[in-house]
Amino acid sequence: MSTAIRAASILPARREEIELQTADGLTLVGELALPADRDPVATLICLHPLPTHGGMMDSHVFRKAAWRLPALADVAVLRFNTRGTSSVRGTSEGVFDNAVGERFDVAAAIEYAEFAELPALWLLGWSFGTDLALRYGCDPAVTGAILLSPPLRFSAEADLAVWAGSGKPLTALVPEFDDYLRPVEARERFAAVPQAEVVGVPGAKHLWVGDAETVLDEIVRRVAPGVTVPLPSEWDGPMEYGDASAYADRTVAAFADVPVTGPEQRDATGR
């Protein structure tokens, strides 16, 4: 009997708590989720939103990717907390470094995936994580990158030029009502990367609340093109459920009065 896949549904997978070691001596905590009984066809390395505003390895799109994609698309999902970031999994050593020291975090994740002989490494950045992908992710071991709600805040034209020169696939999923960068301006900014694909998502907002399924379909369409999308909305097999209440204190609302550090950022209205 098939059961509807809900926000808290956890489908079967081989899940392993992992630790990443950075070149500057920190230990980062994370998790690797693999298909339960076969090899993955591709790998997502997840780079989470701004940790000073609730971003972490369990941010909801990444959580749902790890809970669903190994079973539904044979895709491995590697999630981790960047330096100084906490989640249910634990706290990574170090402190938030405004996208500077985080270069070592990105390198450590890529290196771990290489040593684990995971296939077709794709970076999946979200908000702050897209800046990390653009600045530090154009590595020879990386197949390409998918960017969710890229604000282009910490990254610069020089970073886009590196991706342009690499020829590696780069896809930006941009919400129609994003807080920082909307589809029209995103297409202008990413024109510097000839192979970049900018996909405007109607009705969506920066946090993708209510649109996670659309995001997962677009991800799978690119990293595992042999898998039929849209992905199934029901599962005929064992299923567990996660505790969503564990993340209630990590919502953006809880950080509404916390200043955003780093480079000055215009909002989507240009202010």
Domain assignment of residue 260, yes or no? no
| Preceding omega of 175 cis (within 30 degrees of 0) | no
Whether 161 shows a pLDDT value over 80: the answer reads: yes
Domain assignment of residue 169, yes or no? yes
Whether 257 shows a pLDDT value over 70: the answer reads: no
Domain assignment of residue 265, yes or no? no
Could you list the residue range(s) of the whole structural domain that residue 48 is in?
Answer: 8-255
What count of Cα atoms within 13 Å lies in the side-chain half-sphere of residue 237? 11
Instruction: Report the percent of the chain where pLDDT is more than 90.
Output: 89
pLDDT bin (cut points 50, 70, 90) of residue 262 is low
Mean pLDDT score of the chain: 93
Burial of 171 (0-12, 13-18, 19+ CB in 10 A): buried
pLDDT digits (tens, 9 = 90+) for 44-92: 999 999 999 999 999 999 999 999 999 999 999 999 999 999 999 999 9
Q: How far apart are the C-alpha atoms of 271 and 259, rounded to whole Å? A: 16
What CATH number is given to the structural domain containing 62?
3.40.50.1820
Q: How far apart are the C-alpha atoms of 29 and 115, rounded to whole Å? A: 17
The whole-model pTM stands at 0.93
Domain assignment of residue 63, yes or no? yes
Mean pLDDT of 203-226: 97
The β-bridge relationship of strands 142-148 and 121-126 is parallel
Of residues 271 and 200, the one with the higher pLDDT is 200
The first and second tokens of residue 171, run together, are: 């896809």
Domain assignment of residue 32, yes or no? yes
Domain assignment of residue 1, yes or no? no
Domain assignment of residue 181, yes or no? yes
Using the structure block, give the residue that is written with the tokens 């030029």. Answer: 161
Number of domains the chain is built from:
1
If DSSP codes are grouped into helix, strand and coil, which group holds residue 30?
strand
Domain assignment of residue 271, yes or no? no
Whether 260 shows a pLDDT value over 70: the answer reads: no
The pLDDT of residue 251 = 57
pLDDT bin (cut points 50, 70, 90) of residue 261 is low
R_g (Cα) of the chain, nearest Å: 17
